């Protein structure tokens, strides 16, 4: 092909995109061919029926409308049967294609925001106890050299774009009755807490953000710390918060509460999100590259929705010690075991997708009684759903594909009970 003509074709492709499939209604010849093949599904010879079946399967989506009519109205019983089988195959193919589209971007590791040394200005040293009302301006960089305590009855406010650098192991403590406010309405002007070593291009982490009082964060990056711990009567309100490169648990609720909308946790050496006896509400959560993605323990009852957990070294999610969370829209991609539910736990899961795991998809043990309203299990090195230890799993629609050791495994004394009416559960 002449090079100018090839360039013209590539230019048209770039402008208009890949050609979309032609429907039968747009191509009268294709429509006529489909109708002939539909009739041939009920032909008198097996060879003719098989040939029509193969060709309709190759045509694919453009034949769906005609197949739907044929499944109900084909004059031959064999024609109706084959039309129904073809429809089921095409729907499964479409469902698998949609699943792969969902999984494709999740298989790519998320990146932490780059460090920008240009944002570091004149260093102002701080440590000790905040008294009264204090505001840290964004036109200078705050260097915390010793434990910083926000005492009861005091408030520390950080302007949008403020940079806080902390020495190795130094903590920020928000005491009961104290308040930390760090709000930025602009995603490109975040408030940043990081270790001074990051600016110095050295290894090292600052300590914990310990919350027993009240903390409000919006468009905040917490980098190179030992993690955020919300303890006792502490409460947090987070919106679009990122916790990166943590030496420990990324965010831990210890018998505490919180409201979180938009949370990213990447690279925690232990658990990304930990909840012990806590009851926070979290939505739009992304956890990646941790030892364990999310662990809910010690009778926790949080609510989580729109949760994505990817690239874990061990478990995607652990629900244990009689915990009863409410979960909706949880996706686990790339873990040792996708989800472990044990020690008498009773989670309610509206929709769960587990894929690309090196072990089992979902393991239920220790007399647990989860409710799984809708489950998708895909590309698992071992078994899709494993039920052990006299557990009972209530399951709605379960779709499993490419599970190398089978869709389900039941230990004696355990069982899977179908949800006859998922809307009531």
Same domain, 128 and 88: no
Q: Are residues 128 and 272 in the same domain?
A: yes
Residue 359 belongs to domain spanning: 122-424
Pairwise CA distance, residues 263 & 270, whole Å: 17
Does 4 reside within a domain?
A: no
55, 126: one domain: no
Shared domain for 48 and 145, answered yes or no, is: no
What residue has token string 């191509």? 27
Place of tokens 């043990």: 365
> Which H helix or E strand runs over 348?
strand 348-349
Cα 264–Cα 268–Cα 272 angle in degrees, nearest 5 = 55
Assess whether pLDDT exceeds 90 at residue 304: yes
Least confident of 60-69, 234-243, 334-343: 60-69
Whether 205 and 321 map to the same domain: the answer is yes
Q: Which two tokens stand for residue 308?
A: 């994505």
pLDDT for 115-170, tens place per residue?
A: 999 999 999 999 999 989 999 999 999 999 999 999 999 999 999 999 999 999 99
Residue 341 domain-assigned (yes or no): yes
Looking at residue 169, the DSSP 8-state letter turns out to be T
- Are 276 and 382 part of one and the same domain? yes
157 falls within a domain:
yes
Tell me if 132 is assigned to some domain: yes
Residue 7 lies in a domain: no
Does some domain include residue 14?
no
> For the chain, what's the residue count?
425
pLDDT value at 421 more than 70: no
Q: What is the pTM of this model?
A: 0.82
Domain boundary among 75, 93, 111: 93
DSSP, residue by residue, 277-310: S---EEEEEEEES-SEEEEEESS---EEEEEEEE
Residue 69 belongs to some domain of the structure: yes
| DSSP notation for 209-266 | EEESSEEEEEEEEEESSSEEEEETT-EEEEEEEEEEEESS-SEEEES-EEEEEEEEEE
Q: Percent of the chain scored above 70 by pLDDT?
A: 93
* HSE-CB for 209 with a 13 A CA cutoff: 34
Q: Do 295 and 358 reside in the same domain of the chain?
A: yes
Same domain, 163 and 79: no
**Are 181 and 36 found together in one domain?**
no
Inter-CA distances, 107 with 51, 97, 110, 289, Å: 38, 15, 9, 12
Q: Is the same domain home to 340 and 241? A: yes
- How many domains is the chain built from? 2
Q: Tell me what the pLDDT averaged over the chain comes to.
A: 91
286 burial type by CB count under 10 A (0-12 exposed, 13-18 middle, 19+ buried): buried
Distance from C-alpha of 279 to C-alpha of 260, rounded to nearest angstrom:
12
Question: Does a structural domain hold residue 295?
Answer: yes
Instruction: Report how far residue 391's alpha carbon sits from residue 366's, in angstroms, rounded to the nearest whole number.
Output: 6
On the question of pLDDT at 16 being above 50, the answer is no
Handedness of CA 364, 367, 368, 373 (dihedral sign): positive
């Amino acid at each position: 092909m002449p090079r100018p003509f090839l360039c013209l074709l590539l230019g048209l492709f770039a402008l208009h995109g890949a050609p979309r499939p032609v429907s039968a209604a747009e191509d009268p010849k294709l429509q006529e061919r489909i109708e002939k093949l539909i009739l041939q599904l009920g032909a008198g010879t097996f060879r003719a029926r098989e040939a029509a079946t193969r060709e309709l399967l190759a045509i694919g989506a453009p034949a769906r409308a005609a197949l739907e009519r044929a499944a109900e109205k084909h004059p031959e019983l064999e024609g109706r049967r084959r039309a129904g089988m073809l429809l089921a195959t095409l729907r499964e193919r479409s469902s698998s294609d949609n699943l792969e589209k969902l999984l494709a971007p999740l298989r790519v590791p998320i990146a932490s925001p780059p460090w920008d040394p240009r944002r570091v200005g004149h260093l102002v040293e701080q440590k000790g106890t905040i008294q009264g009302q204090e505001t840290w301006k964004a036109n200078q960089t705050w260097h915390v050299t010793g434990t910083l305590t926000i005492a009861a009855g005091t408030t520390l406010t950080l302007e949008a774009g403020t940079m806080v650098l902390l020495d190795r192991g130094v903590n920020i403590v928000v005491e009961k009755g104290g308040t930390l406010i760090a709000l930025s309405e602009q995603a490109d002007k975040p408030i940043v807490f990081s270790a001074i070593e990051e600016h110095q291009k050295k290894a090292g982490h600052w300590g914990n953000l310990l919350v027993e009082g009240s903390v409000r964060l919006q468009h905040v990056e917490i980098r190179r710390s030992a993690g955020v711990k919300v303890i006792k009567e502490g409460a947090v309100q987070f919106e679009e918060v990122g916790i990166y490169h943590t030496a420990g648990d990324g965010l831990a609720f210890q018998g505490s509460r919180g409201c979180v909308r938009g949370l990213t946790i990447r690279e925690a050496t232990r658990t990304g999100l930990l909840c012990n006896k806590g009851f926070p509400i979290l939505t739009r959560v992304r956890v990646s590259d941790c030892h364990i993605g999310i662990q809910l323990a010690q009778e926790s009852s949080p609510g989580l929705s729109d949760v994505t957990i990817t690239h874990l070294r061990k478990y995607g999610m652990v629900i244990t010690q009689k915990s009863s969370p409410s979960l909706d829209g949880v996706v686990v991609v790339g873990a040792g075991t996708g989800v472990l539910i044990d020690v008498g736990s009773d989670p309610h899961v509206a929709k769960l997708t587990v894929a690309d795991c090196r072990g089992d998809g979902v393991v239920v043990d220790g007399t647990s009684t989860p409710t799984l309203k809708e489950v998708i299990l895909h590309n698992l090195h071992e078994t899709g759903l494993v039920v052990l230890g006299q557990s009972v799993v209530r399951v709605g629609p379960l779709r499993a594909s490419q599970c190398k050791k089978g869709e389900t495994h039941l230990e004696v004394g355990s069982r899977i009970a179908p949800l006859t009416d998922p809307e009531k559960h």
